[in-house]
Structures are given as structure tokens and as C-alpha cells.
Amino acid sequence: MCFEIRPATANDLPAAIELLREARLPTDDLTTRHLALIAEGGAGMLGVIGLEEFDAVGLLRSLVVSPLARGEGVAGALVEALESSAHARGIGELWLLTTDAHPYFSNLGFSVRNRGAAPAAIRGSKEFSSLCPDDAVLMSKRL
């Protein structure tokens, strides 16, 4: 499957929200500021990944891939591109919360962390404090 990774724009927000809602991922506080990258192919938006920046740490926001593109390397390409982009902007560590994808992220080098170990900025985010359930797995990775 051919696809391209590109920076997200404000015009991508409605389609990104639809894709995230279909996957039952949180969208309540999602704004253009949270969208980072889009995977796009002949069928349109194939995937999206977000980033919330807090100085030297970042919160990886909802990675989602269209059912049409699962198993085609889209998710891995989005994560790799996000890591590269975040590192270039001075982010040294990425954090994320997941209810069901921790094995996938472990394979990408993320480690499960105790919720109390999260930096204050991450703990203060809406995703950490109210959008994700308390039993979501917290993970991080140094870039």
C-alpha cells in the first residue's frame, strides 16, 4: 500500500475526529494544535497521530489507522515520523496512555511506567487527568 506522511493541517481535523471516534478514542479536547501527522493514500486519510508538547516532554496523542490500512505499516511509519519530528523540536521523551495497545508500543521501545512517574506536565494534561480511564497503561520512551 502506498501512502505519504505529512504534517496535519486545520482542514484535517474533521476527518481525524471521525477516524478517532470510529476507533472509540477520546476527542473531547482535540484541536488542530494536537494533530501532528497524517498518513494519506489513494483512499484519503489512512491514519493520524497527535502530539501534545510540554517543553522537553511530549504526550503522544491517539494513534489511529483506518481499518482499510491496518497491517500495512501505517502505524509504525506514523510513530517513527512523530519521534523524529519531536526529537528535532527538542523533545527528549515521549509519553502515552493506552487501554489496549501496550504490546504494540512495547515492540516500538516504549516502557510501561507507574502513573506516579509521569512528569507534572503530563499528569496535568486532560488526557491523563480525565479523558483516559484510570486503568490505562502509561508508557514512555526516550528519544
pLDDT in tens, 40-99: 999 899 999 999 999 899 999 989 999 999 999 999 999 999 999 999 999 999 999 999
Mean pLDDT, to the nearest integer, of 127-141?
89
Domain ranges of the chain: 3-142
Give the architecture (CATH level 2) of 3-142: 3-Layer(aba) Sandwich (3.40)
- From CA 71, how far away is CA 46, in angstroms rounded? 12
Nearest to 99 by CA among 129, 55, 62: 62
H and E: helices and strands count for the chain? 5, 7
- pLDDT for the residue 43: 86
- From CA 113, how far away is CA 99, in angstroms rounded? 14
Q: pLDDT category, 128, cuts 50, 70, 90?
A: confident
Share of the chain above pLDDT 90, in %: 80
- From CA 44, how far away is CA 47, in angstroms rounded? 9
Share of the chain above pLDDT 70, in %: 100
- pLDDT for the residue 109: 97
Residue 79 makes CB contacts below 8 A (sequence gap 6+) with: 49, 60, 63, 108
Mean pLDDT, to the nearest integer, of 120-134?
87
Residue 25 has pLDDT above 90, yes or no: no
The CA–CA distances, whole Å, from 124 to 14, 59, 102, 118 equal 26, 11, 22, 10
